[in-house]
Amino acid sequence: MLRRKALHALLTWDWYADYARSGQWFNSVLFATMTAYLVNMLTQSTSPGVWTALLWVVISFVTLQSASRTFYLSPANWNYINQLVTPMEIMVGKSIASALSSLLFVTVAFLFFGLWIGWPSDGHVLAIYLSVAIGTIGLSTTLCFTAAIASKTQAKGGLLAILSLPLLLPTLMIAGRATKLATLGVETHELTGPWLAEVGMAGIPLALSGLLFPYLWKA
Amino acid sequence: MKPWKIIGLALLGYSIVAGLLTEAPRLPVLNETIRNLYYHVPMWFTMIALLGGSLVHSIKHLSSGDLVHDSRASQHAQVAMLFAVLGLLTGMVWAKFTWGAFWTNDPKLNGTAVSMLIYAAYFVLRNSVDDAMKRATLAAVYNIFSFVLMVVFIGVLPRLTDSLHPGNGGNPAFSNYDLDSNMRMVFYPAVFGWILIGFWITELRRRIAGLTNHP
């Protein structure tokens, strides 16, 4: 059973830790901007397919960077949080916080990407953004769980990417397809199917995380 | 020798010989390479069966805390990867003769490559933790999480996108037009035979690990 009060406490905690009392958020904003600029430097003109692929490469990097901090807490802070909320609440709360943060940084990257590389001429920007936003939530729910696993090991850094990237591919494929259709300017009703598939790909990892995190928490 | 091993050997022997000697449909492009169906497809069935075994042991570990199940999960995954490599190699040879290239950007091939990467990550995770109990729990959790996403990737996604493989993306499945009764008589024994041999190899790995003091 999820308590609203517990989720609120976790979200408030993350807000203070990442935004209100530290400049952690700025690192991610800078990273998102730099990645989008790097892609701009490496390419001149792109087809809708290449545009979509490059955008999702940028989004993958940004969400990965954002998720790497999700479970980065001192043992004392963990002890305090564990007294306030249950393991399932931690996972769901962290997933929501991670999804919101990723969404913010991906929005920044998306805007700069469009600014520098340009928008596809036939595409609807809002439809493209919706495909990107739902896909980002899917990526961040998977990444949040793998970040929880990686945080329990001695190996830091690279392990999160190794554990996560293969698991992100189903979401990336579905989200990439939805984005490509949006860049080609297809009607909104034709995008409903891919968007629902994206929602499904966000829900599966979240449900699995809720079920499995109590075991991780014990470890 | 236990009966299931004898059955496995018999089915395998039969399918290898019958696969080369029995009548196969004469189909354009595929020609005689259609016989590779008996050797290529069973590798994937065996891989999935072994990964299913690995999943069951991971669930058992989480519910009991017994480290033996963690070892079993790892051994099943290792042998599954052997079959994944064999499936990939037999598929690449088949692809070269029918599609003209060893590797194509096909969702099923990508799914297989990703499955191998997922389980490579599983082994990396196992090597990243020193404490046996912690390693077992983390590996079990990752295994369950990965298996579900892998099933989505190799089972569902290829059906949503275009694929050169039969039965996917609008291509007719073998059962619809060319897996005739002659082929079924060899194909199904081959699948069951290879699965039994896969579990036999896993048991041998378990016994070797037992001799070297790893449960």
Q: Which residues of A touch B153 (CB under 8 A)?
A: 169-170
CB pair distance less than 8 Å for A166 and B121: yes
Two tokens, residue B195: 């699965």
On whether the CB atoms of residues A103 and A137 are closer than 8 A, the answer is yes
On whether the CB atoms of residues A22 and A157 are closer than 8 A, the answer is no
Phi-psi sector, B167: left (phi>0), alpha (psi -120 to 50), beta: left
pLDDT in tens, B108-161: 788 888 888 999 999 999 988 888 999 999 999 999 988 988 888 777 766 666
Domain boundaries, chain A: 4-218
Amino acid at B147: F
CB proximity list for A128: less than 8 A, separation 6 or greater:
A119, A120, A179, A182, A183
Which of helix, strand or coil describes residue A79?
A: helix
Of the pLDDT bands very low, low, confident and very high (cuts 50, 70, 90), residue B78 is very high
The Cα of A147 is separated from the nearest Cα of chain B by a number of Å equal to 11
Q: What is the pLDDT of residue A80?
A: 81
CB pair distance less than 8 Å for A215 and B134: no
CB pair distance less than 8 Å for B125 and A204: no
Which uninterrupted H or E stretch holds A78? Answer: helix A75-84
pLDDT at A130 over 90: yes
**Other beta carbons within 10 Å of B107:** 22
Of the pLDDT bands very low, low, confident and very high (cuts 50, 70, 90), residue A102 is very high
Using CA atoms in the order A183, A184, A185, A188, what is the torsion angle rounded to 10 degrees?
A: -80
CB pair distance less than 8 Å for B157 and A142: no
Q: What are phi and psi of A194, to 5 degrees?
A: -60, -35
Cβ-nearest to A208 among B110, B125, B148: B148
Tokens 């079959």 found at: B83
Of the pLDDT bands very low, low, confident and very high (cuts 50, 70, 90), residue B10 is very high
pLDDT in tens, A165-182: 888 988 898 899 899 999
Q: Does A167 touch chain B (CB under 8 A)?
A: yes
The Cα of A153 is separated from the nearest Cα of chain B by a number of Å equal to 6
Cβ-nearest to A152 among B138, B144, B152: B138
Average of per-residue pLDDT values in chain B: 85
The Cα of B18 is separated from the nearest Cα of chain A by a number of Å equal to 38
Q: What is the pLDDT of residue A156?
A: 63
Interface test with A, best of B128, B131, B160 (most A CBs within 10 A): B128
Q: Which residues of B touch A153 (CB under 8 A)?
A: 125, 128-129, 138
- pTM of the full predicted structure? 0.85
Q: Does A197 touch chain B (CB under 8 A)?
A: yes
Q: How many CB pairs under 8 A join A and B?
A: 76
Checking ipTM against 0.85, whether it exceeds it is: no
CB proximity list for A114: less than 8 A, separation 6 or greater:
A125
pLDDT in tens, A1-51: 778 888 888 888 888 887 877 777 888 889 889 988 888 888 877 788 888
pLDDT in tens, B155-210: 776 666 666 666 555 454 555 545 677 788 889 999 999 999 999 999 999 999 88
pLDDT in tens, A109-119: 999 999 888 88
Q: Which residues of B touch A215 (CB under 8 A)?
A: 62, 137, 140-141
Q: Which residues of A touch B133 (CB under 8 A)?
A: 219
Short-list B65, B165, B63, B50, CA closest to B119: B50
